[in-house]
Amino acid sequence: MSMKRFRKLGFALGALSLLALGACGNATSNDAELVVALTGDPVRLDPHRANDAVSATAINSIFERLIRQDEKGGLHPWLATEWMRIDDRTYEFTIRQDVVFHNGEPMTVEDVVFSLRRSATSSVTAPITGGLDPEAIVVMDESTVRVGTFEPFVPLLSHLAHTAGNIVPQALVESDEEAFGQNPVGTGAFKFESWQPGERIQLVRFDDYYDGPVALERLAFRPITESTNRLIELETGQVHIALDVSPTDLGRIDSADGIELLRNTNLRINYLGFNTQMAPFDDARIRQAINYAIDQDVIIDGIMEGAATRALGPFSSEVWGYNENLTGYDFNLERARELMAEAGFEDGFETTIYVDTDITRQNIATVLHNQLLAIGIRAQIVPLEWATFLEATSSGNHAMFILGWTSVTFDADYSLFPLFHSQQFGASGNRAFYSNPDVDRLLEAARGELDPTARQAYYNEVQDIIVDDAPWAFLFVGESLIGASSSVNGFTPNPTAIHNFNYVTLD
């Protein structure tokens, strides 16, 4: 099937890709290398010590989880063949017995228990799996693991399908955790070969993969921070897939021979975050004023070329738990100036906007800089490399920053708890350092509420509070924009922006 035909079918192929899950191996070998251009270099390749989209893309080609989530949010067996809920706090998982790690050692139930306990206690992944009770994760027999939570935790299964749920070999990690992050060993269809930071991550086909070897012989990830450079490399055949194409290059791709544009709605909310612990952003009136001062349509039409929709609240309407009654902030300079004056800043103030090297975010920062001048806010743009940006915004010393968050579990808990609960400050997700006791209480209650209607009511109230408190300026929900060579077959973009390359072949 040609890529052009595949692009037209879009998510209609989702059902076909599910049928392929039972037979990952491909009878026809494709002794070629697929090269994928990333937007930056991974922070680490350890699934329990990294939680950013760039790292996850590489990590999820090396490691696997008990449960796999498809492009629609459906859950399917993976390293677990089945599971059963014992009670409100407990599940039992039946573990595959034919799986080996890339070093040839068999994966055991002890590895599963170790991995889930490690994930639940990691400062990086605890926002996803911290509801697990490490003492209640135990081996029942050689093929069964029992997993318990501190409290009833409704979205448990979707959280175990997150990158944080990847299974690692206990012996290797315990022998040298730092070395493991640089030389990862998993159970995936591709195994790690080498990593030249800033240059290339090289993976090779794992011939002992339990579902049979995949078609591609090699898979490489190249960090190319400049969107224009990613596109040039795609046009010249140096890469086959370029992730996160700049909206300004859409016309260029459409008119080019030999490459295709893959475009679909994603689950990423894009926002301008405020350090709510730092003056003057500790005053909700300042944060509300900034929301009113931003004309989202200028960003959507001028920067995103229409490949986005206005954000009315903290996550996409495609995610379960979305509040359908949100109205968001209209562009209203008069109201913005009133709020600035009420807060004692009628003449504005000077501040900074931290942004990474992504050209689209830098362009957004420029638009925001110009729009905020209308209410007297003079914001200096501070560009930082990805890893430095993440460190800086987790430290609490920043003022404003531009970032996105993808609701990879398709559930409101992951869209809200890591970002707005007061126990999740910094690297855990709450880089706004936002704290509201009512939000904490509601988020905790929603996690354990088994009645979907009551759970939805909790999330509706939480979103109303967050929109009013405005720890962010809510910008837009974007689209996945991916450039791909016409020689690429079998690639289905994932709305979580964490893609699967197991079924790709090259002409």
Summarised one tens digit per residue, pLDDT across range 225-252 is 888 899 999 999 999 999 988 888 888 8
Query: Do residues 57 and 496 make contact, with C-beta atoms less than 8 angstroms apart?
Result: no
Token output for 221: 């990830």
Which residues fall within 8 angstroms of residue 279, CB to CB, at 6 or more apart? none
CA 217 to chain centre: 27
What average pLDDT does the segment 99-107 reach?
A: 98
Residue 360: CA count within 13 A, CB half-sphere: 27
Q: Which two tokens stand for residue 374?
A: 């209308």
Q: How many CA atoms lie less than 13 Å away from 238 in the CB half-sphere?
A: 11
**Could you tell me which residue, 429 or 63, shows the higher pLDDT?**
63
8 Cβ neighbours under 8 A, 6+ residues apart? none
Instruction: State which amino acid sits at residue 144.
Output: T
Amino acid 189: pLDDT: 97
The pLDDT of residue 31 is 67
Q: Which ranges constitute the DSSP H helices of 222-293?
A: 227-235, 250-255, 284-293
Contact 255, 437 (CB under 8 A): no
List, as one string, the DSSP characters of 132-144: B-GGG-EEEETTE
The set of residues, in sequence order, having a beta carbon less than 8 Å from that of 193 and lying 6+ positions away, is 202, 203, 204
What are the phi and psi torsion angles at 165 (to 5°)?
-90, 5
Q: Is the peptide bond before 280 cis (omega within 30 degrees of 0)?
A: yes
Neighbours of 317 (CB within 10 A): 15
Instruction: Kindly report, residue by residue over 408-459, the tens digit of the pLDDT.
Output: 899 999 999 999 999 999 988 999 999 999 999 999 999 989 899 999 999 9
Q: What pLDDT, on a 0 to 100 scale, did the predictor assign at position 17?
A: 38
Query: For residues 400 and 475, what is the distance between their CA atoms, to the nearest angstrom?
Result: 14
| pLDDT at 10 exceeding the cut of 80 | no
> Is 207 within 8 Å of 213 (Cβ atoms)?
yes
According to DSSP, the residues that pair with 260 across neighbouring strands are: 484
DSSP state letter for 96: P
Percent of the chain at pLDDT exceeding 90: 77
Lowest mean pLDDT across 9-18, 31-40, 326-335? 9-18
Average pLDDT over residues 304-325: 95
Q: How far apart are CA 29 and CA 196, in angstroms?
A: 27
Is the pLDDT score of 9 beyond 50? no
The C-alpha angle with vertex 373 and arms to 367 and 379, in degrees rounded to 5, equals 75
Q: Does residue 327 carry a pLDDT above 90? A: yes
Q: Model pTM? A: 0.81
The per-residue pLDDT of the chain, averaged, comes to 91
Contact 316, 322 (CB under 8 A): yes
Contact 317, 409 (CB under 8 A): no
**Distance from C-alpha of 496 to C-alpha of 52, rounded to nearest angstrom:** 12
Q: Cα–Cα distance between 57 and 166 in angstroms, integer? A: 13
pLDDT at 386 (0 to 100): 85
Pairing of strands 259-274, 241-242: unpaired
DSSP one-letter string for 204-259: EE-TT-TT---SEEEEEEEE---HHHHHHHHHTTS-SEESS--GGGHHHHHHSSSE
What residues are paired with 77 via a beta bridge? 67
Q: Does 3 have pLDDT greater than 90? A: no
Radius of gyration for the chain, computed over Cα atoms and rounded to the nearest angstrom: 23
pLDDT of residue 246: 86
Predicted pLDDT of residue 24: 45
Instruction: Identify the pLDDT of residue 12.
Output: 35
Measure the CA–CA gap between 368 and 238, rounded to whole angstroms: 35
Residue with tokens 């003079």: 378
Choose from 10-19, 117-126, 188-197, 487-496 the range with maximum mean pLDDT: 188-197
Q: Tokens standing for 504?
A: 């790709």
Question: Would you say residue 54 has pLDDT above 90?
Answer: no
pLDDT for 368 equals 98
Is it the case that residue 27 has pLDDT exceeding 70?
no
Predicted pLDDT of residue 4: 40
Rounded-to-integer distance, Cα 253 and Cα 248, Å: 10
Q: How is residue 215 annotated by DSSP?
A: S
The whole-number average pLDDT for the span 372-398 is 95
Average pLDDT over residues 176-188: 94
